Amino acid sequence: MPLLLIDNGSHGESISKVKKLQEEIPEHTTVLFNDRNIHHGPAMDQALHQLASPNILLLDSDCEVRDGGFIEAMTALLSQYGESYIIGKRIFMNRRGFDVEESANAIPYIRPMCMMVRREYYLTLPKFQKHGTTCLENMKAAVQRGFVLLHFPIEDYIHHEGRGTAGKFGYQLGWRGKLNYLLNRFGI
């Protein structure tokens, strides 16, 4: 199985760790070094354009795999249903990208910390975006097209530290992010 590691503008020790991983299995590992942080969504988009596999597992760098077997299980479920697009931890969001309870107006959303994507479908949908809810527009379009977003209990297999890069560098959404947050708080 090919392994693509994308270093998203790291400095110092991180680069040598990524290079060491590549040296361990060079025949199956490719490393892309971005000279700057292009952000979460664009880096995932980069991976989906770089690889040619039908199903691509995206795993954040702040995830720790605690138990095996999830790749095989996700692949089997994704291929079991014809219009399945993406599989991972499914939650629901409002139109502004904030978590909500499941309802008629809620948008199904797969958390991008660890998800498997059917590449051929992704290439027909809007690209993942910069930060925040990087996949919201993509997944809204997928649901409108009749594609299925499958839930998988990924938290049984991995631990997600959460807000790794965002905690260090922020989302860099500027005034639009602040305005979106305020409008959501006011229910607008």
**Would the pTM of this model clear 0.75, i.e. be above it?**
yes
Domain boundaries, the chain: 53-185
Torsion (CA) 98, 129, 51, 11 in degrees, nearest 10:
-100
Give the residue from 101, 109, 113, 119 showing the smallest Cα distance to 140.
Answer: 109
| CA 114 to mean position of chain CA atoms | 6
Give the residue from 10, 60, 61, 12 showing the smallest Cα distance to 35.
Answer: 10
Q: Do the beta carbons of residue 90 and residue 151 sit within 8 Å?
A: yes
Among the residues of the chain, which ranges form H helices?
13-24, 40-50, 70-80, 119-122, 136-144, 164-169, 174-185
Task: State the pLDDT at residue 175.
Answer: 67
Task: State the pLDDT at residue 167.
Answer: 52
> What are the residue ranges in the chain where pLDDT is below 50?
none
